[in-house]
C-alpha cells in the first residue's frame, strides 16, 4: 500500500483549515472594501490607537512569558528528579485544569477576584485588606500566566527528563559544583524546550482578547481586542485582517528564533 495515501487526510485538513483561511486573511488584509489592492490595512498599525494596543499586548505577553518561565523551570526540574510514580501524578495535576474549558477557567478567576468575590470575602472575614486587582493589567497577567503555564512546563519537562544523567554525573566528577553544572550543562541542553515553551506561551498571550475582556474589564485595549472588535462590532474585515497580518509577523519572528535554536527538534516531541 502506498504510504503517501496516509498523509491525505492531513493534507486535506491543512489545505481546508489552514491554507484557505490564511489566504482569505491575506486577501482581506490586502484589499479595501471595494476589493482594490491596498496596503492601508497593514499600515493602519501605525496609528496611535493601534500601535498603543500592540505595545500593551507585547508588554503584557512578554511579562507573562517571563513569569511563566521563572515558575516553570524550577517546577520542571523538580518533576524530573522525582521517581516515576510521583511525577506522573504531578504532571497529571498540572494538565488537569486543561481538561476544563479555557473560558470557564477565566470566568472563574473573575468570580474569585471581584470586589465581592471569593478571595475578598475571605479576606474581609479575616479583617485583612482587600485585593483590588480585577480590571487592571495585573489581573490580565495573572490570567495569562494561569492559563498558559502548562504550555511552558511540558516542553521544559520533556527536554529536561531526556538529559542523560551520566552527563551530569560526569560534570560533577570533573569537579564542577552545582551552579556550574546547571549553567554549563543543564541550562544549554534545555534551551530547545525553553524556546518551544516561550513560543507556546507568548503567541496565545499576544493574541488573546478574552482574558483582557473578562479580567481586564475591557479597560485595557490589546491588539487582539482591536481585531476582535473589527469583526464583531464594526464589521470591517479588511482592517481586522490587515492587523492580523501584522500580528503574524511578530509571531513568525518569534518562531524563527525558536526554530534556529531548536535545530534538533527535541522539544517538538511533546
Partner 1 sequence: MKKFIALLLCGIFTATALTGCGSSSSAGENGEVIVYNWGEYIDPETLTMFEEETGIKVVYDEFETNEIMYPKVEAGSSAYDVVCPSDYMVQKMIENDLIQELDYDKIPNAKENIGAQYYEQAAAYDPGNKYCVPYCWGTVGIIYNKTMVDTPPTKWADLWDEKYADNILMMDSIKDSFMVALKKNGFSSNSLDESELQIATNDLIAQKPLVQAYVVDQVRDKMIGGEAAIGVMFSGDAIYVIGENPDLDYVIPEEGTNVWIDGWVIPKNAPNKENAEKFIDFMCRPDVALKNFEYITYGTPNTAARELIEDEDLKNSPIAFPDLTQYNNLETFLYLGEDGEELFNKYWKEVMSN
Scanning residues 228 to 247, which ones bind partner 1 (CB under 8 A)? 231-237
Residue 36 C-beta: closest distance to partner 1, Å: 9
Residues in contact with partner 1, shown as a per-residue x/- string from 43 to 82 under the rule CB under 8 A: -----xxx-xx-----------------------------
For residue 208, CA distances in Å to 135, 197, 225, 231, 238 come to 15, 17, 8, 15, 20
Candidates 31, 14, 22; CA nearest to 244 is 22
Q: Which of 114, 138, 185, 251 binds partner 1 (CB under 8 A)?
A: 114
In the structure grid, which three cell numbers stand for residue 165, read together?
544523567
Task: Work out whether 33 is an interface residue with partner 1 (CB under 8 A).
Answer: yes
Measured between alpha carbons, how far is 25 from 31 in angstroms, rounded to an integer? 10
Q: 17, exposed or middle or buried, with CB in 10 Å at 0-12, 13-18, 19+?
A: exposed
207, β-bridge pairs: none
Q: Which is nearer to partner 1, 225 or 254 (CB)?
A: 225
Q: Which is nearer to partner 1, 27 or 39 (CB)?
A: 27
E strand or H helix at 99:
none
Q: Which is nearer to partner 1, 35 or 178 (CB)?
A: 35
Binding-site ranges for partner 1 (CB under 8 A): 16, 20, 24, 27, 31, 33, 35, 48-50, 52-53, 110, 114-116, 135, 213-214, 217-219, 221, 225-226, 231-237
Amino acid at each position: 500500500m502506498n504510504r503517501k495515501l496516509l498523509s491525505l487526510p492531513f493534507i486535506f485538513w491543512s489545505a481546508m483549515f489552514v491554507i484557505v483561511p490564511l489566504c482569505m486573511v491575506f486577501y482581506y488584509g490586502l484589499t479595501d472594501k471595494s476589493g482594490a489592492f491596498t496596503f492601508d490595512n497593514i499600515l493602519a498599525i501605525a496609528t496611535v490607537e493601534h500601535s498603543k494596543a500592540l505595545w500593551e499586548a507585547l508588554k503584557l505577553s512578554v511579562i507573562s512569558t517571563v513569569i511563566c518561565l521563572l515558575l516553570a523551570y524550577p517546577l520542571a526540574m523538580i518533576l524530573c528528579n522525582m521517581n516515576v510514580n510521583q511525577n506522573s501524578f504531578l504532571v497529571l495535576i498540572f494538565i488537569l485544569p486543561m481538561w476544563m474549558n479555557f473560558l470557564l477557567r477565566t470566568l472563574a478567576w473573575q468570580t474569585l477576584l471581584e470586589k465581592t468575590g471569593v478571595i475578598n470575602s475571605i479576606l474581609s472575614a479575616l479583617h485583612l485588606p482587600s485585593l483590588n486587582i480585577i480590571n487592571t493589567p495585573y489581573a490580565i497577567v495573572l490570567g495569562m500566566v494561569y492559563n498558559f503555564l502548562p504550555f511552558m512546563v511540558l516542553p521544559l519537562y520533556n527536554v529536561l527528563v531526556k538529559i542523560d544523567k551520566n552527563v551530569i554525573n560526569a560534570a560533577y566528577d570533573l569537579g564542577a559544583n552545582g551552579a556550574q553544572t546547571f549553567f554549563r550543562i543543564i541550562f544549554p541542553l534545555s534551551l530547545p524546550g525553553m524556546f518551544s515553551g516561550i513560543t507556546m506561551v507568548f503567541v496565545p498571550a499576544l493574541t488573546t482578547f478574552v482574558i483582557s475582556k473578562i479580567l481586564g474589564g475591557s479597560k485595557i485595549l490589546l491588539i487582539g481586542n482591536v481585531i476582535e472588535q473589527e469583526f464583531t462590532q464594526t464589521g470591517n474585515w479588511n482592517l481586522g485582517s490587515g492587523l492580523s497580518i501584522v500580528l503574524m509577523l511578530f509571531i513568525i519572528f518569534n518562531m524563527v528564533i525558536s526554530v534556529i535554536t531548536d535545530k534538533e527538534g527535541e522539544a517538538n516531541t511533546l
